[in-house]
A and B are shown apart, each in its own frame.
Chain A
Amino acid sequence: MSEPIEEPAAPIPEPPQREPRPQTPRPWWSRAVLGVAVLGISLLAMYHLTITFLTNSPTNTVSTKFATPIAKWVYPWFEQNWRLFAPNPMSQNFTIEARVSTDCYSSVTPWYNLSQMDYDTIAHNPFPGHTEQNELRRAWTDGYAATHDDNDVPTSDRGDMMRQYLVNIALERIKPRSAKDGVAPNKIENIEFRVTTTDIAPAETPNQVQQPSVHIIPWRQVAADVVSYGCPNGSVAP
């Protein structure tokens, strides 16, 4: 042992498993408990994976037939949607503006460009937050636009909730700014939205100018959340 032994390469250590116990014959109940547990866990995992598959697959005869058990299992904890930019990515850009007025439109603010506030925050920002990227975007595309028809009539039970959400987002952004435009935050009575949708120029003709379409959500009373047409004194919405 006098000559130096070349150090062998250090063996890669096994991940630390719990120390093994001395083995003895297992009593019947131990086997039974282990067997039941293994079976139960396996079935649970398989059930979950099956449901996960069915909730992600296109609607088919199986997922239609078992719609209730699938919904019971999936909502809300295992809800998932991986259709980001699929089947087709969105091909429109939005300019979402809003303006507010006092009672009877005695004072009306100019339009506030809510979406541009998002875009300005995102520009040259390596780490934008959920406020800029998800709040207004999803409130409009997944919220209001998905639950209302072209005449602003709700098409689903969630329509009212989504409109309220959009209004709240707008008010939160407008309130710090409206006082200098003549409407103090506590005087805001009505709100109007103007949403300009512009198609992204087709990839074949990237420089082609697209005609934007303008959609106006008419004046609504903020507190009562009803359409506001006019006033007893005869003043009408601008």
Chain B
Amino acid sequence: MTSDVNDTTDMANAADTTDTTDTTDTTDTTDAADAIAGADGAYAAEGNGNGNGNGNGNGNGDAAAATAAAVVAVAMAAARRPSARDQPLVWLAQKIGQSVTRLTTHAIALYGTAVLRIGYGSLYLIFLLHEYPKHESLWGPNAPWTPALNQQFANDPGLDWFAVDRWWYTFLGHGGNVWFQFWYHAAILICLLMLLGWRTRATSVCFALTIMAFTGRDVFLTDGGDNIMGLMAIYLAFSRCGAVWSLDSRRRRRQADKRRARGIPEFTWPDSPGWQAVAELDRTREEIVTFLHNAAVLVIAAQTCVVYAAAGLYKSQGSYWQNGTALYYTLHLDWFRPWPGLSNFMAGQSVTIAIVAYLTVFVQIAFPFAVFSKWLKYPCLVALIGMHFSIAVVMGLPLFSAAMMVGDAVFLPEGVWRWVGRKVGAGVARLPRPGLPRPAPSTPRSPEASVLPRQAQPHKSASH
């Protein structure tokens, strides 16, 4: 019991750079990251307790003992923690140390980033397949925006790009039609691999480069959907978006199962100093990667907030949004009227569209502040998703709307995604799988109830 307590405190202290005191409260770590990612503090605390217990070799030990140890550790830490009033600097240093420790050892929003990876991967895949019949006249060597025009545009001195940027931006225009076809199909494959999470780090970098290559080939073909997908793809390349719900995670799980079956421990500290240094280096790398992931999640969340805040604040300056007629004009734009009857009907509801216009502006401006309160966050998310859904249908912008909706996923708590994952997993498990052997049929109670003899009745088969 005593050793457990010590282990728990050491665990939290190990990466503590401040080193001011021995006591560290593992369960009461403040993390702004949780507010952003939507992870609930309860899960985090629970995870800390479990993680420490397993990490110290108690994996198969008594879980109750580990919990009790954690409780004791909390009580002891609470007793010895310096208060903010008595020693403000020590307290502050300790808090910062705890946050760094937490952010280098705990990846936030792993499910959220996985949803973004799957979402943007499949959206861009759908986009490329949907444009397939016209892809040559959109981005090919003979497209209206010719490679020569694109080159001239990318060399615009006002843009101040690096040579490598320029080169990549005109990449799809280089070479002939065969080259272009090759890259178009490679892009489709990359989207598929991104969606499946195969070798995700390398694939996510390729995915970001793919979107930027298409954006750069003709920036005048893009809209807000391409824009947000390109930005998010770049950010996702810095995240561990393949940690769950991916081929990578399946491979890691199988390798771990194999190791466990052979009785190889998860990790053994090497004997020689050289290999110990390598293991230490690997741990440091692991922590840096985790911190990078957390920073990427922060940037993704902040980018989404910037999108909504900018859109809302600019709208609030427009006279049509102020007098509530903005949607009337939007609904009359010929390029965004796939259902003229529906658009006309909605444009006629002047009171309703005025309320919706005000609501849109309010929710968009409020969003960056609402994410810090779960009472405001979820109503705002529901309103935004409803808004994007109606944009998708009424204005014929399904890809743009879906891209914006996927971006909201990072604000949902991990518990929701785990619940969704369980439901989907259960649903998939119930599906019939023709390729796999069926479970053995139960012994028939009577010859009539048996289904087997039917297959042995050649005179009734279709070929006779």
Contacts and interface: CB of A to CB of B under 8 A. Distances in A.
Given A22-B267, A165-B149, A30 B328 contact: no
B137 A80 contact: no
A45 B144 contact: no
B152 interface: yes
B131 interface: yes
Contacts of A119: 334-335, 337
Given A12-B418, A16-B249, A30-B283, A49 B302 contact: yes
Interface string A123-158: 111111111111101110011000000000000011
Given A41-B291, A87-B315, A133-B396, A30 B284 contact: yes
B250 to A, nearest CB: 11
Interface stretch (B84-92, B99-107, B188-196): B99-107
A89 interface: yes
The dominant DSSP class at the B interface is helix
Interface in B362-408: 393, 396-399
A9 B103 CA distance: 30
Interface string B123-144: 0000000110010011000011
A62 interface: no
Contacts, number: 274
A40 to B, nearest CB: 9
Given A86-B318, A119-B334, A135 B279 contact: no
B187 interface: no
Interface stretch (A71-79, A104-112, A229-237): A71-79
A30 B310 CA distance: 41
B176 interface: no
29 contacts: A13-B418, A16-B244, A18-B286, A20-B54, A21-B283, A34-B104, A38-B100, A41-B288, A41-B295, A49-B299, A52-B306, A56-B310, A71-B159, A76-B154, A77-B234, A81-B227, A86-B311, A118-B335, A129-B134, A132-B335, A135-B138, A135-B221, A137-B335, A168-B146, A200-B328, A200-B332, A203-B329, A206-B328, A206-B347
A127 B302 contact: no
Interface string A24-62: 111100110111011001101100110011001100000
A176 B336 CA distance: 26
Nearest to A90: B333
Nearest to A27: B280
Nearest to A133: B335
Interface string A3-21: 0000000011111111111
A75 B160 contact: yes
A134 B303 CA distance: 24
Interface residues of A, number: 90
Interface residues of B, number: 117
> What 9 A-B pairs are tightest by C-beta distance, nearest first?
A20-B55, A87-B318, A168-B144, A203-B325, A86-B314, A88-B318, A23-B14, A14-B47, A86-B315
B122 to A, nearest CB: 14
B301 to A, nearest CB: 10
Interface in A141-187: 142-143, 157-158, 161, 164-165, 168-169, 171-172
A52 B55 contact: no
Given A86-B315, A87-B318, A129-B130, A93 B291 contact: no
Contacts of A13: 418
B14 A26 contact: yes
A19 B137 contact: no
A16 B246 CA distance: 12
B266 interface: yes
Nearest to B344: A206
A1 interface: no
Nearest to B144: A168
B303 A52 contact: yes
Given A38-B104, A82-B306, 16 more contacts: A12-B419, A15-B107, A15-B111, A19-B266, A22-B55, A38-B291, A42-B295, A44-B295, A48-B299, A75-B161, A80-B231, A81-B227, A83-B310, A123-B338, A142-B220, A165-B220
A223 B329 CA distance: 39
Interface string B268-307: 0100000001011101101110111001001100110011
Given A93-B334, A125-B338, A31 B17 contact: yes
Nearest to B14: A23
A89 B221 contact: no
B338 A172 contact: no
A122 interface: yes
B319 interface: yes
Interface in A63-103: 68, 71-72, 75-91, 93-94
